[in-house]
Amino acid sequence: MTSKRFKGVAANIDKNATFSVEQGVALVKAGATAKFDETIELHFALGIDPKQGDQQIRATVVLPGGSGKTKRVIAFVDANNEAAAKAAGADLIGTEETIEEIARTGKIDFDVAVAVPAMMPKLAKAAKVLGPRGLMPNPKTDTVGPNIAKIIEEQKGGKIAFKNDNTSNVHLIVGKASFDLEKLTTNVNAVLEAIKKAKPSSSKGIFIKSATLTSTMGPAVHLNVAGL
């Protein structure tokens, strides 16, 4: 059942209209009236065939204003990189023992896993646990590399990974309702650019069919994506 609060907010938004990024952000922010700091999300319907391997979308974007979410990062590193990982802000250091424990128990207590290349063969033991949860370090999501400090700092600083689902949609967090308009607008524009850059060369016709902004408890606002 739709609440009176939702109906009141939705009444101010034309469901059939599309808006500029600035207008859309202002409307969604104004509509986030719940008694908690609502998450702002951006949802895309894309002109891709998810059944085709060469039309899969998988990339990353740095949100200039941050995501509003505190990430717990584990760094799988060797002894030579442990100090750098800790200094960069890693919450946990993953060792061979950690990998064996994850593989054995299936338990995790982190949001993002990063690794140096030397640890990837060892991480294969835990792939059945990490893979299905989207936590396996991967070069495509910028979570594997020799400069572990930079990788950790980017993850802590607002870098998020995104990929399409099996219905050709992509869903991303772009911030919190408490963010100011400039910060949210900058984040949305960064995501739009990242989506455009991620367009597969084999995708024909209209790529971004729709882009919809919404808050956790608020109504949807459709962005004008003509020409994107």
Let me know if residue 195 belongs to a domain.
yes
How many domains are there within the chain? 2
Which CATH number is 168's domain given?
Answer: 3.30.190.20
Least Cα distance to 33 among 5, 2, 10 occurs for 5
Least Cα distance to 71 among 30, 109, 112 occurs for 112
Q: Are residues 168 and 211 in the same domain?
A: yes
Let me know if residue 227 belongs to a domain.
no
Q: Are residues 145 and 78 in the same domain?
A: yes
What is the rounded CA–CA span in Å between residue 54 and residue 50? 9
Structural domain for 191, as ranges: 14-67+159-222
Q: Which of 135, 156, 177 is the last residue of a domain?
A: 156
Alpha carbon separation from 16 to 13, 19, 28, 60, 208 (Å, rounded):
9, 10, 15, 31, 17
State the Cα angle at 121 between 80 and 125, rounded to 5°: 115
pLDDT by residue for the chain (228 residues), tens only, comes to 445 545 555 556 777 799 999 999 999 999 999 999 999 999 999 999 999 989 999 899 999 998 888 889 999 999 999 999 999 999 999 999 999 999 999 999 999 999 999 999 999 999 999 999 989 999 988 999 999 999 999 999 888 889 999 999 999 999 999 999 999 999 999 999 999 999 999 988 899 999 999 999 999 999 999 866
What is the rounded CA–CA span in Å between residue 218 and residue 176? 12
Which CATH number is 92's domain given?
Answer: 3.40.50.790
